[in-house]
Each structure stands twice: as structure tokens, then as C-alpha cells.
Amino acid sequence: MAATKKKPAAPGTSRTRLASLIKSARDTMRKDAGMNGDLDRLPQLSWLLFLKAFDERVEQEGEALDPDGYRRAIAAPYRWEDWATDPDLSGDELKTFVNEKLIPHLAGLVGDHADDPRNVISTIFRDVTNRMQSGTLLRDLVNIVNDIHFVSTDDIHTMAFVYESILKEMRDAAGDSGEFYTPRPVNRFMVQQSFLKLGESVLDPASGTGGFLVQAYEDLKDQVRTDSERKRLHANIRGIEKKPLPYLLGSMNLLLHGIDAPHVHRANALLEMRNSTAADRVDVVLTNPPFGGEEESSVVKAFPAGYQTQETAWLFLYSILDQLKRGGRCAIVLPNGSLFATGENSIGAKIKKKLMQDCNLHTVVRLPQGVFSPYTQIPSNILFFEKTGPTKEVWFYEVPLPEGRRGYTKTKPMQLEEFDKCVVWWGGERREGREQNEYAWKVPAEQITASGFNLDIANPHVGDDLAHRTPQELVEELVKAETEILGLLETVRAQLAGDNE
């Protein structure tokens, strides 16, 4: 069989061009009777983009590098170039092919080994449905996707941009499910201050679109010197994601970064971690788990008595404590409400007690107001801890808003440079030379224990500046505080109702 002729490289897709193509794609899907809003349009667009990216970034590149030895994961006539680029395949013929042949074939793929990308493809397409009723409009949509190219590492954030461009109109739905997608500066800071090493296993049990996993891979890949090291690194970047759409997007994100067979499981991470063995434990956990949501009773019952709650953030934190190897470490985002939970009967306090007894909670970074805007205004924190023995003292560092700013918006988000002072203060991997200053303070573990494990400790160096704020600012802050308190009370009421059942 003759070697496949290498195709000329397609130009990359600029952000402006991408925005124009996505608008055209959405306009096309709006015309179809089978599409009911962005909750239908986003999955439809995503699986098509996945196939285009897989063909361009994995299959074509694989053949170019090894024309005689590379075996395609997707065979003819199911390759993108076989059907998606054929202008004569349209209308009912295209729709029938996609519904009755393409999707069932992809869902039925079986890999020969753990690193075979066919396993990822089949997992994705078991949940895929072609939602478009018009084969003609489907052809129009496929043609638009075919004009999007993933040809360089500069294009690796394309999928995230696609997702965000449509998610703008789904903010309420995202917030209601407690899924607050982590801004890139936050996950970059968390990865950076975790001081990853080649050979360590890294897990995000709420991996979503793969931001933490991609950043961890980017931090480590330049240390790779051999093919065996590369394979081990790919295997050590691990994720768990429950929902099909984020799983698809996360798999695609990792594919675009060069991991042909992402080690991300489609599963409920809480059950997965509860059922794991010592062999499944990892060196590092990096995560922003859903909070404010509630788990179903069957999941809650999998936890020991005294630690059963429907609050997802607590269940994730408890599970992570067991998932870490001895000496392992974690960086996790938690809301202020989780830090505050106190009292002998509070499950949150019990889990924080376990955290401080089992691990060294060495640093709590208090994030500025509105970092997760527009999904939520709830103040959040990053907890850094390591499974090396009990906590003796906790350092707190408050990252301030930039001068003159009252918050963040979608168009003016947080920037990575805002963590620079914290990075300098951190003291490197050994956290040497830390000193208290206007942003940093430390609290003995005994004081935290005496408070009922309250970690919501305000900066003692900040005085009362009420006199310097306008009445409008004060009212806005009061409204935000009352809203958060109401949310906490609703959570407590739900927990009490569950305890009385």
C-alpha cells in the first residue's frame, strides 16, 4: 500500500476568524428544528470539532511522522477526510450515514491496549447523538467546522474559547450546578506552586475541560528525555469527569496538547475514589471541585458515618485525603463558607479536623472578590496541604484586587501577574524565609482547633476602611454578604432535613 501523501499545512485559525466561524455555526444550528438552545448546540458542535481536531492533530501528524508504520485509530470510510470533506454527501444521505453508521462505529471502537486512543473515542461517542434533523444544515455545519484548523500549539486554547463563547449564555445553568470553571491564572498558579516533578502522578478528580491537567503536562513535558519518560508522563496525567460534555472537551484539550490517549475516566469521581485501592493513590491532586451542589443519596451512603453530607465540596475534600500517597500534596479551591463551618456536629468541621490531623495545611491563599465571575461572586480560597503529618501552623496570604479595581468581569478577568508578590513571598519549594506583612499572616494550629476549625480568618493587618467607601459600595457589599449567608442557611436547612429523614 502506498504511503499517504502529506497534505500541505493548513493555516492556523486566528481568534477573530474562530469567533466568526463559531457565530456562523451557531446561526446554522439555530435554523434546525432539532436544536433547542445552546444546551443542544454546544454538544453538537463539540463532537464535530473533536473529530476534526483528532484527524488533524493525531491521525495526520502520525502518518506524516511514520508513513509506513502508523495505524489510524479511525479507518475508512469513517475518517474525517472520507465523509466530512465530501460535498456530495449531504441531505438525508449524510444524516443517515452519521446516525446509523458513523456514531455507532465510533462508539464501538475497542483499543488493543490502555494507551490506544480508540478507547477515548468510544467513551466519548457512547454519549453522542446527532441532534440535527436537517441533513442539509448538517452539511453546512460540517463545512464550517472543516474551516477550523488545529495546526500549532498556539491553537490549543481554541476549544476552551469555543466553549466559553457559548457558555456566556449558559451562566445560570453553570452556576446552578456548582461548576465554576477555573480561570487560567488560578490553575497556572496552583500548578506552579505545587512544584511538580517528572515521574509523579497528578490527578484532577473534577477535571472538567482539563485546565489543570493541561497545565501540569505543559510544566513537565520539557523535562522528558526518552520515549519511556514520555509514555509515563502521559499515563501520570489523570482525570475523572462525570458529565459527557466536559469529558469530551477535556479529552480534546489534552489531545491538542499532544496526549493521544488521555487517561481521563468517565465516572463519578466520589465513587471512583471511594472504591480505589492503595495502588490508585497519587502524588499530587490539583482541583476545583463543584461546590454548592448536592450529591445523590447512594453516593453519600458510600462515605463513613459521621462524614455523610450532600455538599460536594466536603465529599471531595474527604476523598482526596484518602487518595493521596503518604507525602503527597494537594492544591484545592474551596469557598469561604467551607472554611467557616464550625461546631462539634458540623461535618465540615470534622473533615477539617481530619485534614489538619492527617496533613500539613501549610498555606491558604485568599483570592480576590469576583475571581470566578460571572459564574459566582462567592469569595474563594486555595488550600495547599501535604500528607506529611499534622498541621502546626497555617500561613494565610490575601491576594489583593489591583489598585482601582472593585472586581473582575468577563472582559477584565484576573491576570497571572497578580500572583507575583505571593510567589516571591512563598519562599520556593521549601517555603523558606516567609514573613508576615500586609498580605500575609500565620495562625497556630491550636488557635484553629480552639475555634472549632474555623479557617475563614480575616487579614489582621487590614483596618476598618468603611469611612473611605461610598454608600453604594457598602450597600453592594451588604447585599453580597446577605446573599451568601442565605445560601449557607439553605445548605444547613437541607442538611438538617436530610438528618431527620
Query: Which residue(s) pair with 240 in the sheet?
Result: 265
Copy the grid coordinates of residue 414.
Answer: 484576573
Copy the grid coordinates of residue 113.
Answer: 491496549
In the three-class reduction of DSSP (H, G, I as helix; E, B as strand; rest coil), residue 397 is classed as strand
**Angstrom distance (rounded) from CA 365 to CA 459:** 11
Q: What are the boundaries of each domain within the chain?
A: 15-155, 176-462, 463-501
**Angstrom distance (rounded) from CA 52 to CA 43:** 14
**Angstrom distance (rounded) from CA 179 to CA 286:** 15
pLDDT at residue 10, rounded to an integer? 55
What is the bridge-based pairing of β-strands 360-366 and 324-335? unpaired
Do residues 408 and 443 touch, judged by C-beta distance below 8 A? no
Q: Which residue stretches of the chain have pLDDT < 70?
A: 1-13, 151-180, 374-376, 463-474, 476-477, 480-481, 484, 491-492, 494-501
**Angstrom distance (rounded) from CA 120 to CA 109:** 9
- Using only the alpha carbons of the chain, give its radius of gyration: 24
Indicate the DSSP class of residue 303.
S
**Angstrom distance (rounded) from CA 210 to CA 490:** 31
pLDDT at residue 148, rounded to an integer? 87
pLDDT at residue 165, rounded to an integer? 57
pLDDT tens profile 173-207 = 444 444 557 888 999 999 999 999 999 999 999 99
pLDDT tens profile 328-337 = 999 999 988 8
pLDDT at residue 224, rounded to an integer? 95
pLDDT at residue 170, rounded to an integer? 47
HSE at residue 239, side-chain half, CA atoms within 13 A, is: 33
Q: Is CATH 3.40.50.150 correct for 176-462? A: yes
Query: Which residue(s) pair with 189 in the sheet?
Result: none
Residue 174's nearest CA partner among 147, 209, 137, 150 is 209
State which fold the 15-155 domain adopts: Ferritin (1.20.1260)
Burial-class residue 320 by CB neighbours within 10 Å (0-12, 13-18, 19+). Answer: buried
pLDDT tens profile 88-147 = 999 999 999 999 999 999 999 999 887 789 999 999 999 899 999 999 999 999 999 999
DSSP 176-210: HTT--PPPHHHHHHHHHTTT--TT--EEETT-TT-
Kind and range of the H or E run holding 398: strand 393-398
pLDDT at residue 152, rounded to an integer? 56
In sequence order, which residues have a C-beta less than 8 Å from that of residue 269 and are 6 or more positions away?
Answer: 205, 206, 240, 241, 242, 316, 319
Residue 370's nearest CA partner among 418, 435, 332 is 418
Query: Which residue(s) pair with 204 in the sheet?
Result: 239
pLDDT at residue 382, rounded to an integer? 97
pLDDT at residue 13, rounded to an integer? 66
Residue 427: which region, alpha, beta or left (left: phi > 0; alpha: psi -120 to 50)?
Answer: left
pLDDT at residue 114, rounded to an integer? 78
**Angstrom distance (rounded) from CA 313 to CA 391:** 21
| Phi, psi for 443 (deg, rounded to 5) | -130, 130
**Angstrom distance (rounded) from CA 185 to CA 202:** 19
**Angstrom distance (rounded) from CA 368 to CA 399:** 6
Query: Which residue(s) pair with 266 in the sheet?
Result: 241
